Amino acid sequence: MIEKKEKYNVAIMGATGAVGKEFLNILEERNFPIDELRLLASERSKGKIITFRRKKLEVQVLTENSFSGIDIVLASAGASRSKEFLPHAVRAGAVCVDNSSAFRMDMQVPLIVPEVNPEEIKSHKGIIANPNCSTIQMVLPLAAIKKVTQIKRVVVTTFQSVSGAGLGNILELEKQVAALSAKETHFALGEHIAPPEMIDKFPHQMAYNLIPHIDVFKENLYTKEEMKMVEETRKILAEPNLALTATCVRVPVYYAHSESLNIETEKKVTRLEALALLEKFPGIHVIDDPENNDYPMPVTAEGKDQVFVGRVREDESLANGLNMWVVADNLRKGAALNAIQIAECLI
């Protein structure tokens, strides 16, 4: 942990990005005990003014010397910058919670979801990794079911919002939707297809479309995002041989990721048993009333802290199988909130 104080000096790496803005919102909402808040970003954000707790703070350029006197670093500036700058922060005496993929699979770095494996925090050597957004929301229901039986296999398909890819991607979707919606006809074939000049951040048109491809393809033809879910889940649950396969899809939703989750267990878990386990697990909110069409959706989760679970049912194709639908705000529980919960555990 870190030295006990009444208040802490906190630095945010990537303070002007989508996750950086959520760091600020959540630190204020949860009244995190801050003495000095240092906002760090790239040269292009130098001098930008951000208001926090009614005080105007100037964004500083991130350098090797940015961490003097800092207790906690919340980092969301990308993997390459984390690799470059976090070692300097550790040498300056800070504990770093990193939202990038830089250190997640480093065996010397704990990978933490506080509701699932908080005991691993104490093993840190200055850096603690925040998992991938889609992994975080999946491991909560997995950990809930794992309380009563071993999990044999997991099949997950994700439906991930554009905010998971950054502010530029949100704006690209917005521009495409605005341009295509302005046309006089919307239903004729070809009238909903964007011209090539409108496609930049994504490999294909995002508006009115789905892209079954997030991050780069690897040699096994899975994407990097899909393999993150496999490898990170195994590490967090301490199940190195867990059978897990993932398909990750980008969808034209601004905020909140959704997941279709299929779990095969060692022992039979009924729908009612699963619901009871999920309802008792910290961080999960169950919405499951099929008769009234009540289940989680991205609009349910947007701006919320919980992982929402619904559509829980027994898999009729398996002796011991469960299906469920899992939704969470990817910028909050999937990123900024989880990191701040780790920081709260540290203090």
Q: Which residues are catalytic?
A: 133, 257
Buried b (16+ CB within 10 A) or exposed e, 43-59: eebeeeebebeeeebeb
Question: In this structure, what DSSP letter does residue 256 have?
Answer: -
Q: What is the DSSP letter of 302?
A: T
Instruction: Say how many C-beta atoms besides its own lie within 10 A of residue 4's C-beta.
Output: 7
Q: How far, in Å, CA of 315 to CA of 281, rounded? A: 22
CA–chain centroid gap for 176, Å, is 25
Q: Phi and psi dihedrals of 239, rounded to 5?
A: -125, 80
DSSP for 59-84 reads: -EE--TTTTTT-SEEEE-S-HHHHHH
- Neighbour tally for 115: CB within 10 Å: 19
d(CA 192, CA 294): 31
> SS3 for 259?
strand
Residue 196 is inside which H or E element, if any?
none
* Alpha helices for 184-328 (secondary structure H): 224-236, 271-280, 298-301
Phi/psi of residue 278, nearest 5 degrees: -65, -40
